[in-house]
Amino acid sequence: MQRKIGVMGGTFDPIHHGHLVAASEVADRFALDEVIFVPTGDPWQKSGKDVSPAEDRYLMTVVATASNPRFSTSRVDIDRSGPTYTADTLTDLHSRLPDAEFYFITGADALSQILSWHKVEEMFELAHFIGVTRPGYELVDGHLPKGSVTLVEVPAMAISSTDCRERVAAGRPVWYLVPDGVVQYITKRRLYQP
Ligand code: ATP
Ligand code: MG
């Protein structure tokens, strides 16, 4: 049988429970065999902003997903040079797993911008898109091609990486917003400290 693979792309700076709940919920809803988390290389939407080294974001993602047998983390984007485009991510994963069927998971904020993404047409041929709810954003499929996107309600987690970084910078806790191992990794590597 064709394997069903979820793909969760993100900057993951740091990865938090909003990302993990969304992936877990979609995996259950669509009976996915696996969800691959793909930290971005150089995030083109965030160029100019300070982003932690790809290796730190990758390792935090590994730590956060290690305990779930159906979650894994891919280096495809961080090992490709140049900016990360989702169409390239999906093309690379497709060539590694040619028989798999892909489900690209994206939050309501990212979904509303999807038409501005690079090589949109190609993206929709490579994966089915799953838009998930996110507190503070309206979940709409806008003018996306008919049948290419499914909207899914997931438990509301009012967590963002931006807020986590600001908390660490201000000496406030991120316990229970991110997995314990990620709290420890942030401390060990002194990330987000001014
Ligand atoms: P930042 O504040 O740095 O932009 P973020 O919290 O938005 O970080 P990203 O790495 O930008 O995290 O997001 C990766 C993906 O996860 C995007 O599709 C985003 O919409 C989705 N996502 C992030 N946080 C949540 C959340 N709390 N609930 C649902 N989806 C989320
Ligand atoms: Mg974001």
Tokens read off for 119 = 């090589």
Q: What angle do CA 122, 154, 176 make, to 5 degrees?
A: 115
Q: What is the pLDDT of residue 143?
A: 77
Total-model pTM: 0.96
User: How far does the centroid of ligand 1 lie from the alpha carbon of residue 189, in Å?
Assistant: 22
DSSP bridge pairs for 34: 5
Most confident of 85-99, 109-123, 143-157: 85-99
Ligand 1 atom 27: the closest Cα is on which residue? Answer: 18
Q: How confident is the model at residue 121 (pLDDT cuts 50, 70, 90)?
A: confident
User: How far does the centroid of ligand 2 lie from the alpha carbon of residue 125, in Å?
Assistant: 24
Residue 163 has pLDDT above 80, yes or no: yes
Q: What is the pLDDT of residue 140?
A: 86
Ligand 1 atom 7: the closest Cα is on which residue? Answer: 160
Percent with pLDDT over 90 in the chain: 81
Is the beta carbon of 131 within 6 A of some atom in ligand 1? no
Whole-number Å distance between alpha carbons of 161 and 139: 19
Structure-token match 């987690």, residue found: 157
ipTM of the complex: 0.99
Q: How confident is the model at residue 116 (pLDDT cuts 50, 70, 90)?
A: confident
Whole-number Å distance between alpha carbons of 116 and 119: 9
Q: How far is CA 60 from CA 92, 143, 179, 184, 188, in A?
A: 22, 35, 9, 10, 11
Ligand 1 atom 25: the closest Cα is on which residue? Answer: 18
Whole-number Å distance between alpha carbons of 34 and 68: 10
- Among 3.40.50.620, 3.50.50.60, 3.90.1310.10, 3.30.420.40, name the CATH number for the domain at 4-158: 3.40.50.620
